[in-house]
Amino acid sequence: MLFLHPEKILSQINLQPDMVAADFGCGAGGFTIPLAKKLFNGMVYAIDIQEEPLSALSGLARSEGLVNIKTIVGDLEDPKGSKLPENSIDLVLIINLLFQVENKEGVLREAKRVLKPRGRILVIDWKKDSPFGPAMGRVDPEEIRKLAVKESLIPKKEIEAGQYHWGLLLEKKNE
């Protein structure tokens, strides 16, 4: 999280204390913890394919006194891979995940599936020209915009995510 400032990023989106959120590909919880602090009357589902970072996140959450985080081992590229019910989530975070996955469309589709109508997805990933970060797999925000529109998601606004990352807020249509 050296290059990302979760509090600054989260302050750019309208969060309510009772929201239900999912952090897709949460890792050790760099965004999960700050989000859970803001959603103190809500819930944050922290989902990752690896058990180890989730275990570390659970310990960190306990040490911070946070009881509104539930960890889930899941493959977000698979249909229903988050293990969350349809239309149950207000906000999905997809932070530094898309460069790592082959099925970007599958991840967006799963995020859309779990979102309530008018729910939002915050996507943040490495800029193509960043001197830091992964050498392979970087995605262009325009590519994600096109995938979003294909999945009937509405690009709402760009998010300032720092010098090395781009950010995009998407919304599920009120169907």
Residue 44 lies in a domain: yes
Is the confidence at residue 1, as pLDDT, over 70? no
Residue 65 lies in a domain: yes
Q: What is the pLDDT of residues 114-163, one digit of tens each?
A: 999 999 999 999 999 999 999 899 999 999 999 999 999 999 999 999 99
Give Cβ neighbours of residue 107 (< 8 Å, ≥ 6 apart). 24, 76, 77, 94, 97, 98, 101
| pTM for the structure as a whole | 0.96
CA-to-CA distance for 163 and 109, rounded, in angstroms?
28
The pLDDT value recorded for residue 3 is 84
Handedness of CA 89, 86, 125, 100 (dihedral sign): positive
**What CATH code is carried by the domain that includes residue 140?**
3.40.50.150
Q: What is the pLDDT of residues 46-88, one digit of tens each?
A: 999 999 999 999 999 999 999 999 999 999 999 999 999 999 9
Q: Provide the domain limits for residue 50.
A: 6-172
